[in-house]
Amino acid sequence: MDVYNADLNAHSPSPSPPSDTPPDLRHVLQIDDFSDATWDALRHAAVAHRHDETRGAGTAAGTSLGLVFLNPSLRTRTSMEGAATHLGAHHTTLVPGDGSWDLEWEEGAVMDGNAPEHVKEAIGVLSRYHDALGVRVFASGIDYAADARDTLIRTIAEVASVPVVNLESAWAHPCQGLSDAALLTERFGDDLTDKKFVLSWAPHPKPLPMAVPNTALRTAARCGMDVTVARPNSHALDPDLMAEAQSMADAQGGSVAATSHQAAAVDDADVVYAKSWGGPLMYTDPEGESEARAAHADWCITEALMARTDDAAFLHCLPVRRNVVVDDAVLDSPHAAHLDQAEYRLHAQKALLEYVWGL
């Protein structure tokens, strides 16, 4: 039964598919692509998958999933392959440049450089072989406007003739967001209002892209939590995104705030979600960003910081650099829920594939 059909595309900012493709492709490019009803159904389905390992088994037999990774992955790749296998779907995983052709992205490119295949042909062909595509792209890290528009994953969705699932793009990681929402639902119950969620910037040797912090903010806001983004002033999140998250939280009975005082932010927190990001400064002033990042090495999540919380769950999407982002003492403590969080990727993506295929 297709439990998601009633409100299909009720919130659908994804690009319209080309005119020669079916009008009802269930692209999943960001968590906004789900209506409220679908969002709730998906997070509950993910919890149900975790507690019933036979749920949905074999229901996608005869179906095929193509996975394309233009950036490395441990969790997303393994959990998508596992979810497809559980549902009975066949899957193929490609890594362009490593066993399949490097891709050209530019419209109108004269392809006399290194890339022998254009994304139009690659995704067009894969659309003929598969019933859905999961694609991980990358952030340019140079063109802020293009990354904020999520140009690459939207290009994929425009040239595909089957549903596209964003496996992490420049600006969004909906699989991570849905998994995190499911974990929070299981941990705290259906009503997440009044739960304090702190998204804390953390140090890192490199400026990391924005997909996970953007998505963690939106996810917690959409769940109606009281969200505080703790970050140095140099690493504020995109103001439009903050405003959008505020609207989402308002609609769900939650709130959104930002502060540069990390310790005070975590007081009485129920969740501390650590993540490093480069922020707008990495686009406009990379040297300044690097200096600011180095100046805030003391933002590492410590046991002392966690002691200020209300016995909070510690979350991180992984991979995580121990004793840079977060101390061993936190990752190896009862606070740590990052492995449950990673496990939820499998359950959430089973639910996601069921949604995409209308199972």
- Interface with ligand CP (CB under 6 A): 73-76, 168, 176, 317-319
Measured distance between the N- and C-terminal CA atoms of the chain, rounded to whole angstroms? 6
Distance CA 212, CA 338 (A): 14
Alpha helices of the chain — where are they, by DSSP H? 36-51, 75-87, 119-129, 144-148, 151-159, 174-188, 211-222, 239-252, 262-265, 281-284, 286-295, 303-306, 328-331, 338-357
Rounded to whole angstroms, the Cα distance separating 334 from 145 reads 41
Which three-class secondary structure state does DSSP give residue 336?
A: strand
72 close to 86: Cβ distance less than 8 angstroms: no
Count Cβ neighbours within 10 Å for each residue of 43-52 and write b for 16 or more, e otherwise.
bbbbbebbee
**Cis before residue 319, ω within 30 degrees of 0?**
yes
Which helix (H) or strand (E) segment holds residue 64: the answer is strand 64-69
Nearer to ligand CP, 241 or 317 (CB): 317
Closer CB to ligand CP, 30 or 73, in the complex: 73
Name the residue nearer to ligand CP (CB basis): 344 or 357.
344
Shortest reach from residue 135's CB to ligand CP, in Å: 13
CB of 87 to ligand CP, least distance (A): 19
Let me know: does 125 contact 61? Beta carbons within 8 Å.
no
DSSP-based three-state secondary structure for 196: strand
Nearer to ligand CP, 257 or 320 (CB): 320
SS3 of residue 200 by DSSP: strand
Minimum CB distance to ligand CP smaller for 81 or for 168: 168
CB nearer to ligand CP: pick between 116 and 319? 319
The answer to whether 91 touches 80, Cβ cutoff 8 Å, is yes
Which is closer to ligand CP, CB of 179 or CB of 228? 179
What stretch of H or E contains 198?
strand 196-201
d(CA 119, CA 122): 5
Q: How far is the CB of 67 from ligand CP (least distance, A)?
A: 11
Can you name the residues that pair with 255 across neighbouring β-strands? 226
Report the nearest approach of ligand CP to the CB of residue 317 (Å): 4
The alpha carbon dihedral of 27, 30, 35, 39 has a sign of positive
**Cβ distance to ligand CP smaller for residue 254 or 278:** 278
Token pair 């802020």 is found at 144
Tell me whether residue 118 or residue 275 sits nearer to ligand CP (CB atom): 275
